[in-house]
């Protein structure tokens, strides 16, 4: 046991503390990836259940202006009313397939007098200015539309927008501009409208049903934590061999290891190095 006394020194206890701290960090990062995977799986389930479901009545899905049930994300609702084209806004900084552009928000006044914000789709940024070259106009008069619901977005500190544009789909900000009873819990992505118009913005496609690589990342972090302890054990063993290299028993074990390497023959890397040297 005296031969291993060095492993109980303050230096090795410090190494052990570092490895334990690293392993704890790996556990937290692994759990974070498991949580992310759970969120991704829940999102996939919502898309699968709601995207192609028959449209429902908005009042039953979102009875309150200020609340949004996350399980209703991507739910289809059918409404009728009139676009408030004069209150139209552009959401800046919205890329699509790597191209910069804008989303078009048009408040839609329902027959009940309430207003829901409709995202009619995406248009590219202009060639010569920080705005689209053209913005497709919505149909006028009474319109029947089908929407897919989404929750509103938070504001982003430090991001601003010129008149007629907003930095994010922050629904309370839009409601202040509309000055009518407006849904601020959620808004709708346009799925269809009748009567239709010929010139339409580009609609966003259905989200991919993909949970991502979170599960493999979670297991990788666990593996990193385990490997840290294995590495510490290897380092202790190497120092033991160095300190006790004069010990007859350790010298005998060292000779056996050397003979085992020689019996194994050269590795592919060693053969390649020899060829290159020649």
Residues 19 and 228: beta-carbon distance below 8 Å: yes
Q: Tell me the pairing of strands 89-91 and 165-166.
A: parallel
Q: H helices within the chain, ranges in order?
A: 10-50, 58-61, 171-178, 214-243, 248-264, 268-277
Q: What is the rounded distance in angstroms from the CA atom of residue 110 to the CA atom of residue 116?
A: 8
CB atoms within 10 A of CB 58: 21
Element (H, E) at 106: strand 101-110
- φ, ψ for residue 125, nearest 5 deg: -65, 155
Q: What is the pLDDT of residue 88?
A: 93
- φ, ψ for residue 74, nearest 5 deg: 75, 5
Q: Which long-range contacts (CB under 8 A, 24 or more apart) does 120-129 make?
A: 120/190, 120/200, 120/201, 121/190, 121/200, 121/201, 121/202, 121/203, 121/204, 122/94, 122/96, 122/201, 122/202, 122/203, 122/204, 123/201, 123/202, 124/96, 124/99, 124/100, 125/99, 125/100, 125/101
Q: What is the pLDDT of residue 81?
A: 94
C-alpha distances out from residue 235 to 109, 167, 238, 256, Å = 71, 54, 5, 20
Q: What is the CA radius of gyration of the chain?
A: 32
Q: What is the pLDDT of residue 1?
A: 58
- φ, ψ for residue 154, nearest 5 deg: -80, 170
Q: What is the pLDDT of residue 269?
A: 65
Q: What is the pLDDT of residue 178?
A: 86
The DSSP code for 81 is E
The DSSP code for 7 is G
Q: What is the rounded distance in angstroms from the CA atom of residue 64 to the CA atom of residue 40?
A: 27
Full-model pTM: 0.74
Residue with tokens 């739910």: 75
Residues 115 and 109: beta-carbon distance below 8 Å: yes
Q: What is the rounded distance in angstroms from the CA atom of residue 270 to the CA atom of residue 260?
A: 16
The DSSP code for 207 is P
In order along its 278 residues, the chain shows pLDDT tens digits of 567 777 788 888 898 999 999 999 999 999 999 999 999 999 999 999 999 999 999 999 999 999 999 999 999 999 999 999 999 999 998 999 888 999 999 999 998 899 999 999 999 988 766 788 888 999 999 999 999 999 999 988 877 788 888 999 999 989 988 888 999 999 999 999 999 888 899 988 888 888 888 999 999 999 999 999 999 998 988 888 777 776 776 666 666 666 666 666 666 666 666 666 65
Give residues with Cβ within 8 angstroms of 69, minimum separation 6.
61, 62
Q: What is the pLDDT of residue 50?
A: 92
Q: What is the pLDDT of residue 267?
A: 64
């Amino acid at each position: 046991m005296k031969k291993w006394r060095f492993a109980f020194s303050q230096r090795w206890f410090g190494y052990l503390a570092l490895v334990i701290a690293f392993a704890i960090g790996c556990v937290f990062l692994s759990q974070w990836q498991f949580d992310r995977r759970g969120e991704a799986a829940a999102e996939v389930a919502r898309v699968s259940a709601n995207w192609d479901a028959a449209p429902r009545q908005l009042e039953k899905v979102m009875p309150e202006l200020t609340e949004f049930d996350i399980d209703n994300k991507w739910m289809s609702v059918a409404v009728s009313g009139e676009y408030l084209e004069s209150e139209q806004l552009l959401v800046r900084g919205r890329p699509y397939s790597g191209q910069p552009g804008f989303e078009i928000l048009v408040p839609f006044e329902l027959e009940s007098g309430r207003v829901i914000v409709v995202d009619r789709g995406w248009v590219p940024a202009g060639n010569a200015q920080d705005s689209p070259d053209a913005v497709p106009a919505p149909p006028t008069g009474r319109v029947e539309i089908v929407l897919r619901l989404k929750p509103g977005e938070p504001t982003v500190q430090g991001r601003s927008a010129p008149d007629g544009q907003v930095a994010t789909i922050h629904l309370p900000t839009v409601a202040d501009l509309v000055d009518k009873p407006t849904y601020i819990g959620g808004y709708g992505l346009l799925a269809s409208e009748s009567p239709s118009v010929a010139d339409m913005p580009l609609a966003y496609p259905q989200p991919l049903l993909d949970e991502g690589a979170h599960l493999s990342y979670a297991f990788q972090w666990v593996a990193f934590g385990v490997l840290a302890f294995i590495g510490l054990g290897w380092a202790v063993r190497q120092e033991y061999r160095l300190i006790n290299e004069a010990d007859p028993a350790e010298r005998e074990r060292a000779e056996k290891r050397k003979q085992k390497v020689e019996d194994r023959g050269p590795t592919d890397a060693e053969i390649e190095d020899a060829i290159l040297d020649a």
